[in-house]
């Protein structure tokens, strides 16, 4: 990719630069004049239309009064701003708190999300998310409340006045995998039925009998943007990877097309979700033989 091409990473950096300039109460033209740059250079840096060197980013941010700790984080974006593939280390932060993922979700026009073993995070109820964090033990116990709150806040994207068009492809195995207890699963499945009736939120189920899709294809998101190339997001336990090369996009688009063909339509998916919710409801009512 040429240095002056826009990448998802450079657009993210541009947004952060503009935020810091506005917080420092600088107009773009005035800041450009003080730095001895052209107004066009500042505009392109903030729009992500040109690569930003680490030196230029440091000068810009320092002039806007950004302190050392925050400066280091933002310079990491400048170092990797032209990459078409990059790893985001979770470190001590929660996946849902990762600035990069939230930025790209918010800017997307369409989001296709495949999840083979769980309910996607954007669709989880609070009790389901809490039970999942408690089971996984990847978040310290004293941070679980914060993790659940962060996940619920991230779901505001679905309620936005003009949200992205979501397509969720969820494998039946993920809906049958119990998280918490039967009541939690019953309420989670009813929540999916409700969401599947909302505009711009398509939830479709891939039947277990359709083949070993869940075994071959792990979870991923394919996000598309107005005026920019698509981005694939693949989440791991300790790192997440963002992909932008045509080779990667084509590969995941091919998988998405196969999953789309295997999935039930919206109406039949809604019927299956309702049936599974009823199954969990009945199992909740059944007496415990060992009680």
* pLDDT tens sequence across 90-141: 444 444 345 677 778 878 899 999 999 999 999 999 999 999 999 988 888 9
Q: Please compute the mean of the pLDDT values over residues 9-37 and round it to a whole number.
A: 86
Residue 253 pLDDT > 80, yes or no?
A: yes
Q: Which residue has the higher pLDDT, 207 or 53?
A: 207
Q: Which pLDDT score, from 0 to 100, does residue 285 have? A: 63
In this structure, what is the dihedral angle of CA atoms 209, 279, 202, 206, given to the nearest 10 degrees? -10
Q: Which of 7-21, 69-83, 211-225 has the lowest mean pLDDT?
A: 69-83
pTM over 0.85: no
The overall average pLDDT reported for the chain is 83
What residues are paired with 171 via a beta bridge? 206
Are 256 and 265 a contacting pair, CB within 8 Å? no
pLDDT band at residue 188 using 50, 70 and 90 as cut-offs: very high
Are 124 and 96 a contacting pair, CB within 8 Å? no
- The whole-angstrom separation of Cα 270 and Cα 264 is 9
Phi and psi torsions of 44, nearest 5°: -70, -35
Residue 262 pLDDT > 90, yes or no?
A: yes
Residue 82 pLDDT > 50, yes or no?
A: no
Q: Which residue has the higher pLDDT, 172 or 10?
A: 172
Residue 24 pLDDT > 60, yes or no?
A: yes
Helices of type H across the chain: 8-23, 28-35, 39-47, 54-63, 68-79, 99-107, 126-136, 144-154, 156-159, 172-176, 182-195, 213-216, 246-262, 266-285
């Amino acid at each position: 990719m040429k240095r002056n091409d826009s990448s998802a990473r450079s657009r993210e950096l541009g947004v952060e630069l503009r935020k810091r300039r506005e917080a420092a109460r600088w107009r773009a033209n005035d800041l450009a004049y003080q730095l001895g740059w052209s107004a066009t250079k500042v505009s392109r840096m903030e729009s992500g239309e040109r690569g930003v060197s680490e030196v230029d980013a440091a000068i810009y941010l320092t002039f806007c009064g950004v302190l050392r700790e925050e400066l280091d984080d933002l310079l990491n974006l400048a170092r990797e701003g032209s990459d078409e593939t990059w790893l985001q280390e979770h470190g001590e932060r929660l996946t849902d708190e990762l600035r990069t993922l939230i930025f790209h979700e918010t800017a997307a026009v369409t989001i296709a999300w495949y999840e083979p073993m769980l309910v996607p995070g954007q669709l989880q109820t609070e009790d389901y998310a809490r039970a999942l964090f408690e089971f996984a033990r990847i978040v310290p116990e004293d941070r679980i409340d914060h993790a659940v709150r962060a996940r619920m806040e991230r779901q505001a994207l679905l309620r936005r006045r003009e949200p992205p068009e979501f397509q969720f492809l969820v494998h039946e195995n993920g809906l049958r995998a119990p998280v918490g207890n039967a009541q939690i699963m019953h309420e989670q499945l009813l929540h999916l039925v409700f969401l599947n009736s909302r505009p711009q939120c398509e939830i479709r189920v891939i039947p277990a009998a359709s083949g070993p899709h869940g075994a071959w294809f792990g979870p991923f998101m394919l996000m598309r943007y107005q005026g920019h190339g698509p981005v694939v997001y693949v989440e791991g336990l300790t790192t997440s990877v963002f992909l932008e090369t045509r080779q990667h996009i084509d590969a995941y688009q091919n998988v998405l097309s196969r999953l789309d063909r295997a999935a039930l339509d919206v109406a039949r998916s809604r019927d299956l979700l309702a049936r599974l919710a009823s199954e969990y409801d009945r199992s909740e009512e059944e007496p415990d033989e060992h009680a």
